[in-house]
Amino acid sequence: MSQYIIGIDLGTTNVAVSYLNAEEAEEAVPELFAIIQITDQGERDKRATLPSFLYLPDDKEVSKKALDLPWAAERDYCVGAFARKNAQLLPGKVISSAKSWLCAQNVDPDSKILPWNHEDPSRKISPVTATQRFLEHLRDAWNDSIGADDAKAKFQKQDIVLTVPASFDAVARDMTMQAAKKARLEVTLLEEPQAAFYSWLQAHNENWRDRVAAGELILVCDIGGGTTDFSLIKVTDEGGDLDLQRVAVGNHILLGGDNMDLAMAYGVAARLLEKKGMKLDQYQIAGLTHACREAKEVLCADASAGPQKLTVLGRGSSVVGGTVTTEVTMEQMQESLVDGFFPLCSIDDSPQQSTKAGLRTFGLDYEADPAVTKHLAAFLSRHGDELPAAILFNGGVTKANALTSRIVETINGWRGKKDLTVLEGTDADLAVAHGACWYGNVRQGNAIRIRAGSAHSYYVAIESSMPAVPNVSPPVAALCVVQFGMEEGTSQEIPYNGLGLVVGETTEFKFFGSADRTEDNAGDILSDANRDDLHNLPSLSAKLPVEDKNTPAGTLVPVRLRAVLSEIGTLQLWCLEEGGSKREWKLEYEIRDAEPSDNEGKEAEE
């Protein structure tokens, strides 16, 4: 048994760590772990959170040993407060939003692509490596303090719960696990909205049952730095006692505080152009965006906060002659954000889609429509006619009363009555870390557990057998192998016959996922895999061995399927030969340790 239970909120903007003594788990309350970090050249201090920024300076850009930590000498990078400070001054040398890159569909998160606009390619690292460095910093900071004098208290020996967005599919979760593995950590994954709700449960103890009623839906609305995450939790009556079940999760929405920071920056840039005739270039906008992030967080946290000063970088006499100072007020922030990101809308509204240009600047594939309320309307509409009776807010953005009030106003409009209950009592910045820590306690049987299971349904492509026809590809169906809600750590036979597996030659296995199709069962077949409610997962390229000298390469072996959903939410698909043979082949989303040499997909293993 570990000495501590540790919860990690690996946020897009900030990382937080909470812990409790496992031996006192039934009575203990999660505590915040203050994280030592570089705050300026040659200076370090403990802070409540670790900003999710990684600074990669050039040679001689910082003085020797300026980035030293008690456990690391002459380090050529840093994470945390000083990295965040330089994001404003040197945006091309700082990595931010690394977590969002882990689930990016348009890049390989294991490739050295960040910072994407760094002028020195040799200084670039992969999103997985960036995530690894954040986790290593947490490990070493803990081991330098709590774990300094006790081998049993070392970070890597504790029960660690690491949070991910609920919308992370099996591949993105695997990427996260790969980063943890490289940091020499064994972790359990937990969805962030669930973690936030666990924090609320812990804060109210047994009294939570007095605040909700059987049959009600609870919406967890988590608006973080880079993503917006929605989850629905159903309150059920189990033999006269209230229970909880997560019944729906939203798609991965790349829309959050980052978008709002950029909107504020463009608003400031427009005012500078109008009042001072100053036109900012994209480099200055990037620096101003980071400055707006800091201003937004102050204004969101304190309704009485005054105007926040902003520094605009100089870029020569043709643009801005020198560094310029301006400001943003509470009213200007709300004007930029409330109507732009939280417009009143109908429950039937849906986010606008746009056709993307063939050539774009390199970056994350952000949502085309910034209206969070329209994304929420689409999410709730996909999951039935019942609307939530209560809402739990989480994420730094939701500290602004003007924004949460607009969301409540919108949902009440859909409900036709003003009675949406707002569940309170959690810290929007720290709830996920506290809740992750409490979940570790829950796993020991000391508190109520939210019934969840797989947040997605998963499908494998089945190609039809048909005569060759010019310019016509054989139709591809999608076979459900993991249904929504399948318990993690379980396996199941797929009730579908007539499948053949090609052995002895390289073949491609295509997989799909869906957070919308919650009613499909394992063995259900969708006749056409080309549909909007399925999203493509990376294909697996494999040459499955024959092992039988009498079976030529390319033979179609009749098989049945068994799906295994691991404890961390990754998918294995076993192909078992029919007819009494013991031959079997395993396909698994398992990220390689080495950097990939090509983009052909991950190797399947027998």
% of the chain beyond a pLDDT of 70: 93
pLDDT computed for residue 597 by the predictor: 32
pLDDT computed for residue 420 by the predictor: 96
pLDDT computed for residue 47 by the predictor: 97
Is residue 237 assigned to a domain?
A: no
Residues 577 and 463 reside in one and the same domain:
yes
Q: What is the mean pLDDT of residues 104-114?
A: 87
- Reported as a single tens digit per residue, the pLDDT across 485-503 is 998 889 999 999 999 998 8
Among 273, 307, 341, residue at a domain's last position: 341
Residues 474 and 593 reside in one and the same domain:
yes
Is residue 213 assigned to a domain?
A: no
- Reported as a single tens digit per residue, the pLDDT across 532-565 is 899 888 888 788 888 777 778 888 899 999 999 8
Is residue 571 assigned to a domain?
A: yes
The pLDDT-based confidence of 570 (bands split at 50, 70, 90) is confident
pLDDT at 77 over 90: yes
Residues 26 and 109 reside in one and the same domain:
yes
Which of 257, 267, 284 has its CA nearest to residue 97? 257
pLDDT at 409 over 60: yes
Among 308, 341, 374, residue at a domain's last position: 341
Residues 43 and 176 reside in one and the same domain:
yes
Asked whether the beta carbons of 289 and 266 are under 8 A apart, the reply is no
For residues 19 and 29, give the distance between their C-alpha atoms in angstroms, rounded to a whole number.
8
pLDDT at 602 over 80: no
- Reported as a single tens digit per residue, the pLDDT across 213-264 is 999 999 999 998 888 999 999 999 988 889 999 999 998 888 988 889 989 9
For residues 83 and 38, give the distance between their C-alpha atoms in angstroms, rounded to a whole number.
8
pLDDT computed for residue 68 by the predictor: 95
| Average pLDDT across the chain, whole number | 88
- Reported as a single tens digit per residue, the pLDDT across 133-150 is 999 999 999 999 999 999
Q: How many domains does the chain have?
A: 3
Residues 11 and 115 reside in one and the same domain:
yes
Is residue 367 assigned to a domain?
A: no
CA-based torsion, 479, 483, 488, 493: positive or negative:
negative
Which range of residues forms the domain containing residue 489? 457-603
pLDDT at 604 over 50: no
Query: How many residues comprise the chain?
Result: 606
Is residue 408 assigned to a domain?
A: no
Residues 39 and 164 reside in one and the same domain:
yes
Amino acid symbol at 592: R
Can you tell me which residue has the tokens 């078992």?
576
Residues 477 and 580 reside in one and the same domain:
yes
- Reported as a single tens digit per residue, the pLDDT across 512-521 is 999 889 999 9
pLDDT at 13 over 90: no
Q: Decide: helix, strand or coil at residue 511.
A: strand
Which of 489, 444, 2, 432 has its CA nearest to residue 190? 432
Q: What is the mean pLDDT of residues 107-128?
A: 90
Residues 29 and 162 reside in one and the same domain:
yes
Q: What is the mean pLDDT of residues 392-412?
A: 93
What is the DSSP-derived secondary structure letter of residue 166? T
Is residue 583 assigned to a domain?
A: yes
- Which of 88-92, 340-344, 349-353 is predicted with the least confidence, judged by mean pLDDT? 88-92
pLDDT at 593 over 60: no
Cα distances from 423 to residues 72, 201, 304, 489, in angstroms, run 43, 10, 23, 32
Residues 185 and 320 reside in one and the same domain:
no
% of the chain beyond a pLDDT of 90: 57
Which of 290, 227, 247 has its CA nearest to residue 10? 227
Q: Phi/psi of residue 407, each to 5°?
A: -65, -45
Is residue 403 assigned to a domain?
A: no
Asked whether the beta carbons of 436 and 18 are under 8 A apart, the reply is yes
Asked whether the beta carbons of 89 and 287 are under 8 A apart, the reply is yes
Residues 483 and 587 reside in one and the same domain:
yes
Tokens of 378: 């689409």
Among 293, 319, 341, residue at a domain's last position: 341
User: Which CATH number do you get for residue 104?
Assistant: 3.30.420.40
- Reported as a single tens digit per residue, the pLDDT across 417-453 is 889 999 998 999 999 999 999 999 999 888 899 998 8
More confident residue, 301 or 23: 23
Residues 312 and 164 reside in one and the same domain:
no
Residues 36 and 162 reside in one and the same domain:
yes
pLDDT at 59 over 90: no
Is residue 235 assigned to a domain?
A: no
- Reported as a single tens digit per residue, the pLDDT across 353-376 is 865 555 555 567 778 899 999 999
For residues 342 and 573, give the distance between their C-alpha atoms in angstroms, rounded to a whole number.
42
Q: Examine residue 165 and say whether the peptide bond preceding it is cis (omega within 30 degrees of 0).
A: no
User: Which CATH number do you get for residue 337?
Assistant: 3.90.640.10
Cα distances from 207 to residues 215, 312, 386, in angstroms, run 18, 50, 25
DSSP string, 1-49: --SEEEEEEE-SSEEEEEEEEGGGTTT---EE--EEEEEETTEEEEESS
